[in-house]
Amino acid sequence: MTTISTNQAVGTPTAAVSTLDLAGVSRWYGNVVAVNDVSMSLGPGVTGLLGPNGAGKTTLLHMMAGFLAPSRGAVSLDGRPTWRNPEVYRRLGLVSEREAVHTFLTAYEFVLASAKLHRLPDPAAAAREAIALVEMEGAQNRRIGTYSKGMRQRARVAAALVHEPQVLLLDEPFNGMDPRQRLHMMELLHRLGDAGRTILFSSHILEEVEQVSGTVQVMVAGRLAASGDFRTIRRLMTNRPHVFAVHSTDDRALAVALMAEESVTGVELGRAGLTVRAGDYGAFTRVLPKIALAEGIRVRQLVPEDESLESVFSYLVEA
């Protein structure tokens, strides 16, 4: 069996560039607004769709992929609507969040079936190429039911890539992957983006998005809260002090020692312990054990109070 080199497979210059456009898109379920007036235009390259759980990322992705009608507004791929238009799948691939695969098929059969359903001229070659792309050659003849979560995910990505779509949408693609698989998936998305494809993936984990993509669309509570270069947004976030709840054997003494630290911008002594504001997350968490050791204080509890993405995003929205 011949396998085609990964780089060649992805690096082939693609004929046309596709754009996915959302114009004033809203979606509501009864009284609940899941997506609220979102407009964006996605071109070639990798874009991260970032937001806390329940922000409407999946709803937005489903509308992009033609699996949900917008209640208002329009989603179009190269000017053609994605809803009720199966033709868009010639240029669009979707990897949904739900880990749904035909477990009774092998990865090769699964990807080959996709290639055949796309009516590709040489489905077997396309399937082999897509499997090589996700480095699954070794396990391709085993039933998907025997795979780990990360392997299933890669099989699904291979099936979604088999027709070399211009646009690939991935919903939480890193969920359930081990670090090595994550790295591999990130590299793959990078290569696809560099080859001129439009890649959009959603995630609720900041670090994932940071590593894969420079451009992000941040969703909060159904709205597009920020959009653009990730580093700029990230800086906005770190300018905010981090809040920690600290409880120790001697809170008062610890408070005095902490105030001498440069990374600490404020300490509040309460009945339940200390509330510490730190400008630099890393510096503070590194220095706290040292201070405690030097002062002979035992730290019983250290809880970041605003670490959740929700709070970071709410800063963003307030800003």
Partner 1 sequence: MSTVSWITVRGLFGRRRFLLLLPLPVVLVLLAVLSRALGVDPGEWGPPVLIGLGLAVVLPVVALIVGTGVLGAEIDDGTIVHILTKPLPRWQIVLPKLAVAAGVTAVTVAVPIYVAGVLADSVRLGLALAAASAVGALAYSALFVALSLVTRRPVLLGLVYVLIWEGLLGNIVSGTQVLSVQQYVITLADRLAPTGLLETSVSVPVATVMAALISVGFTALAIDRLRSFSVAGETS
Residues of this chain that bind partner 1 (CB under 8 A): 29, 32, 34, 53-59, 62, 65, 67-69, 84, 86-90, 92-94, 96-98, 100-105, 110, 113-114, 116-119, 159-160
Identity of the residue, 225 or 276, whose beta carbon is nearer to partner 1 in the bound complex: 225
Report the phi/psi class of residue 56: left, alpha or beta, with left for phi > 0 and alpha for psi in -120 to 50. Answer: left
Nearest-angstrom CA–CA distance, 180 and 199: 21
* Minimum distance of partner 1 from residue 89's CB (angstroms): 5
Of residues 36 and 285, the one with the C-beta less far from partner 1: 36
84 or 271: CB nearest partner 1: 84
User: What is the sign, positive or negative, of the torsion defined by CA atoms of 226, 230, 235, 241?
Assistant: positive
CA distance 189 to 153: 13
Closer CB to partner 1, 101 or 245, in the complex: 101
Q: Which is nearer to partner 1, 217 or 263 (CB)?
A: 217
| Alpha carbon 179 to its chain's center | 15
Q: How far is the CB of 143 from partner 1 (least distance, A)?
A: 9
Q: Which is nearer to partner 1, 51 or 150 (CB)?
A: 51
**Would you call 158 helix, strand, or coil by DSSP?**
helix
Q: Closest CB to partner 1 among 82 and 263?
A: 82
Long-range CB contacts for residues 313-316, cutoff 8 Å, separation at least 24:
313/51, 313/52, 313/55, 313/218, 313/220, 313/225, 314/220, 315/236, 315/237, 315/240, 316/218, 316/220, 316/225, 316/226, 316/233, 316/236, 316/237
| Closest approach of partner 1 to the CB of residue 240, in Å | 25
Q: What is the DSSP string of 246-298?
A: EEES-HHHHHHHHHT-TTEEEEEEETTEEEEEES-HHHHHHHHHHHHHHHT--
Min separation Cβ 100 and partner 1, Å: 3
CB 108, min distance to partner 1, A? 14
Minimum Å distance from CB 173 to partner 1?
Answer: 15
Q: Please, which residue, 68 or 299, has the CB nearer to partner 1?
A: 68
Distance between CA atoms of residues 157 and 130, nearest Å: 8
Tell me the closest approach of the beta carbon of residue 11 to partner 1, in angstroms: 24
Give the span between the Cα atoms of 20 and 288, in whole angstroms: 48
Following DSSP, what letter does each residue of 286-317 receive, concatenated?
Answer: HHHHHHHHHHT--EEEEEESS-SHHHHHHHHH
Nearest approach, Cβ of residue 33 and partner 1 (Å): 10
